[in-house]
């Protein structure tokens, strides 16, 4: 359960990182993760600034057709000891300045160890960021669901639902991360994770998240809080 939760949390952050304005003046060509051979690296830390992991995203190939762009991205998630925890390919695309992502392909069966006899699917909403962000603005909520089924009998073994609510733009702020200094929009929201195993409700998790969103790049810093106390944070460390 802990391994799956960490995996889903990493994928949620990936989804947020890839989000771009839904009605933006930004074009597909402006988005940095749709460049051939582009690489993103993110570093994660606990509340005591101790490294807890690393994530990388590398663009393997880009297919352009008119105003549409589709890219295949290879993702790798490493633990605090630098050991590869999970990896896999997923696709993102862009049309009219709006990004879509194949969320099902984010789940890599071969890296799930004891869950290798399980079939996993993910589905959910895109985290949209309008082009006219301003202080006090309320953004759309979102829900993501991951279900794990037994391959033999298709019985549902576990379901994880992550709800993102109360997304509010607090204002513009200059933010410095290892990848550079950016003019960002500070956005705060609540995240609730619900778990069910074999139909039984399991302990969930409620967090408050603060993120710093930069158009054309994505989220360059994300902070997780519980009961008002910082629990962890992730920063964009490199773009190549």
Sheet of strand 180-197: strand arrangement: 98-101, 84-95, 68-78, 51-65, 39-46, 229-239, 218-226, 200-214, 180-197, 156-177, 142-150, 118-124
Boundaries of domain holding 71: 2-239
What DSSP letter does each residue of 42-58 carry, written as one string? EEEEETTS-EEEEEEEE
* Rounded Cα gap, residues 31 and 69, in angstroms: 10
Question: How many folded domains does the chain comprise?
Answer: 1
Looking at residue 233, its pLDDT comes to: 93
Distance CA(120)–CA(30), nearest Å, equals 33
Which pLDDT score is estimated for 114? 43
State the CATH number of the domain containing residue 136.
2.40.360.20
pTM value surpassing 0.85: no
pLDDT in tens, the chain (240 residues): 444 555 555 555 555 555 555 544 566 777 777 788 889 999 999 999 999 999 998 988 888 887 788 888 888 888 889 998 877 787 777 777 666 766 554 444 444 444 556 676 777 776 677 767 889 999 888 888 877 777 777 777 788 888 889 999 999 999 999 999 999 999 999 988 888 887 777 777 888 999 998 877 878 999 999 999 999 999 999 998
pLDDT value at position 26? 60
Q: Say if residues 70 and 62 touch (Cβ distance below 8 Å).
A: yes
């Amino acid at each position: 359960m802990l391994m799956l939760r960490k995996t889903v949390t990493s994928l949620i952050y990936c989804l947020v990182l890839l989000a771009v304005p839904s009605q933006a003046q930004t074009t597909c060509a402006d988005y940095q993760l749709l460049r051939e051979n582009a690489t993103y690296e993110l570093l994660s830390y606990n509340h005591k600034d101790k490294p807890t992991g690393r994530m990388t995203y590398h663009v393997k190939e880009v297919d352009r057709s008119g105003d549409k762009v589709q890219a295949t991205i290879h993702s790798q998630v490493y633990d605090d000891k630098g050991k590869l925890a999970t990896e896999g390919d997923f696709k993102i695309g862009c049309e009219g300045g709006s990004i879509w992502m194949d969320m099902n392909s984010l789940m890599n069966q071969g890296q799930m160890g004891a869950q290798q006899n399980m079939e996993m699917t993910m589905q959910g909403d895109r985290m949209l960021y309008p082009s006219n962000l301003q202080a006090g603005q309320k953004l759309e909520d979102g829900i993501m669901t991951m279900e794990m089924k037994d391959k033999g009998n298709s019985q549902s073994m576990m379901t994880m639902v992550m709800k993102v609510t109360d997304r509010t733009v607090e204002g513009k702020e200059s933010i410095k991360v290892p990848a550079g200094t950016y003019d960002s929009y500070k956005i705060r929201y609540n995240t609730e994770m619900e778990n069910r195993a074999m139909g039984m409700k399991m302990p969930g998790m409620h967090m408050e998240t603060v993120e710093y969103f930069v158009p054309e790049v994505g989220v360059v810093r994300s902070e997780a809080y519980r009961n008002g106390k910082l629990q962890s944070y992730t920063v964009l460390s490199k773009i190549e």
